[in-house]
A and B are shown apart, each in its own frame.
Chain A
Amino acid sequence: MLNPGAAYRFLAQQAQPPPGRSGAWLSWRKPLLVAVVLGCTMSLITSASLSLRLAGPAAFYWGFVPLAEIAALAAVCWRAKRSPFGRTVDLFFAGHGPWLLWLIGLCAIWSFVPPIHAFVFTRVWLYGAGAIVIVWSAYIDFCFFRFAMGKKPARASRDLLVQRLVSWTIIVAIFGGPAIVPELAAQLGVRFGP
């Protein structure tokens, strides 16, 4: 997380895993970890405890986030000859540390701060820490495309942009839904109708 360039250079030189069952597990283990952390987050931020009733189903339907990311990754890396796609997925999700820490921070706020004050902390965390995480994770993902995928800097930047555009569009559309247009209109000062 702190030195992603060196880390991805190191990881890219590691031996390829054997194909078959272990290869399939390799491609799913980190996306599953992301889904589990998301499910646990949903339980902790709403009930300040970790219950199977909330965490289990939430991990299942919030699995759409890693799936959207894998779909977007496939859009830019499917033809990569450097490594099998399962290995590519594993390496890409290895860079999700900042996002997981951000989610765990959100859990900590709603677990230990009374709700009346938690809203104020949350605003700072969502926007302040969120902005840092967006930049930090963008740099990590750039290093993934640059060193793990062996792309030139311009191509790595393009792939990063396409991957984020595709995955974030899917995620925001499913999460936010039909109110995105009027919310954007309100931000931009655009008026609809009479």
Chain B
Amino acid sequence: MRTDRKTRWGLRLVALLYLALLLLIPVGVVLYRTFEPGIGAVWDSVTTPAAVHAFQLTLTATVITVPLVTVFGVLLALVLARGRFPGKPLLEAVVDLPFAISPVVVGIALIFVYGRTGWFGQDLADAGIQVIFSLPGIVIATVFVCLPFVAREVTPVLREVGDEQEQAAATLGASGWQTFWRITLPAIRWGVAYGVVLSTARAVGEFGAVSVVSGKIAGETETLTLLVEKRFNNFDLAGAYAASALLALIALVTLMAMTLIKPRREEA
């Protein structure tokens, strides 16, 4: 019994040390460094036109991306959990692809397809649509990397809930659409909410793919993460810290939303 307790405390210590070294201390240092020059300097740094634009761009991309991946994710989850068709393992693998592929590769692939010399690039340019080095490209890249979150959160919930409630609704006269809104969606709502939170966090923090497709044009296609990188590379450490703190703040708010959701999710 005593050795058990020792092992338990040992494991906790290792886990906490690990967390501290890799996560808490670096984030803490960023926050400390941010506010070292004083709150006024921080405010100035995050209210420059480039910073404001970057903030707006990140939010815009997120606001477009998250609803898209939510709808797609729920659809995918329904197909994965309820569908019976050949090639389902293949689809499962495809859904996980964005987890497996480095975001930089995603960015380069998008340039191959939508870039000026890419497959659709010329046609799109003729139609007056610029994908690469503009907002659509940023959104597509973000959608790609965020796609699995909602689907992966919702699929196990759907499997666990089973389809008996849906069958019961059908025998009571509900159409497929009515069953989805009245039975399926309420049953998976916490899974969806959790997926939305994760997608949001990922969309805000996305760097690799966006860095490739955006072109990093200051005041135009520069997102918050790209701004941090640029400032850091330009030895504007205070500016980089300030922008990082802003990112961390958004992440913190998202995570708090997640924590608020969690207990209810367990109860459901």
Partners in one complex: no
* Chain A contact residues, CB within 8 Å of chain B: none
